[in-house]
Structure 1
Amino acid sequence: MREDRDMLATKMRVRDEAPWPNVPEGMVLHLDSAGNQPNAMLVMGMRKPSAGEEKAIRQKPLRVGITTSDPLTWITVEGEKVSFDAPYGLGIVEKAEQIRTQLRAVDGWTDATRCAVTIVLVDSRDNTIRGLRYATLGKTWWSVFANAILAQPEHMTRATYDAALDADMRRYPSTQHLVRAAKIIEPLGL
């Protein structure tokens, strides 16, 4: 399974069609349970991203943050010309228990351990990949993330998720509001 996900990440190329149908505007966190470490992919949809926005995703400094708002956890990505946020609720995910098992192991990592994050920028008009970035985040970031996710309810109805999302969107009307409330913000490593 991890090989399939890694193969997907390594097979993606800028200007190719995205492997997901109809990527909407905004950001979605895909967290995979395959392999012995969590595998995070941040898929960002933008309508007609500019050359500057594409470069910001591919090459410029980006910071990734975590904001908790029970029962959801929010991931933020911000940098020059770009800012995105995505909610995550493990209780509505199909492979939740496998993901929980992986996240429980994070606290056992050495301080030097880093884990990969793949960032994919997709033009939502034609579903074309416009930017790719493979980077890492350190153990401290992953520990905060793991603890936030593990504190979430084991099961969540879609109605509960939607109500929490609506409440959070009123509480945090922009990515910058989420960033100000973040428990941790870390620059992406290479």
Structure 2
Amino acid sequence: MPRSSLHANGALGYIFLACRGLQTASLITILGLSAHLIASMADAMQQPSTPLIGTLCISIFSLLYTIITLALYYDNQLPAHYAAATDAVFFLALLVMTIVIGKPLAYLSCRAVGIFTENNAGAYVSVNVGFHAKRGDLYLLPMEYAQWVVSSVGVCEMMKGVWAVGIVATVLMVASAVCLGFLWKKGGARVGKKWAGVV
């Protein structure tokens, strides 16, 4: 790795790299879990819920951004002030994502969901079946996100996993934004209070 992009930035550079590495791992986890849940909804002939689609989109864009900024940092071409501002934008997106995902999960016990689904087998299927008057046949109604979360223990646990890892990714995005802000100031101090161009 070029000396200027790693050793010259000292502890801040190492913290930034650690944050980016952990962000990449957490975003890959969110991406995998949310894609699996969307596939499960499609297999159950349900329209994927908006919060899950939003989570998938945010995690894809965030993952691409973290990989690109890692490459730019490696090549010593990362503009710190732009990257810090973009980190703040992705922090807000991840924060909204975790709030929306976590709203029905905050006080939900997956163990209680398991007991409920065992005692009420088929309850959600019967609730979400409609009758088409003109065609004279049954069809599945779209299932709300909150209903899907409590449909089984596995879904509940995976959604809690997405929520927990989303919180971690949000905190890491704040940490990397702060590191980039200090790296920007540090770079400016080296050239007489003017921005040096890259970290």
More relative contact order, 1 or 2 (CA 8 Å, 6+ apart): 2
TM-score, normalised with respect to structure 2 = 0.25
TM-score, normalised with respect to structure 1 = 0.26
Largest Rg, 1 or 2: 2
Q: Give the number of the structure whose residues are more often helix, by fraction.
A: 2
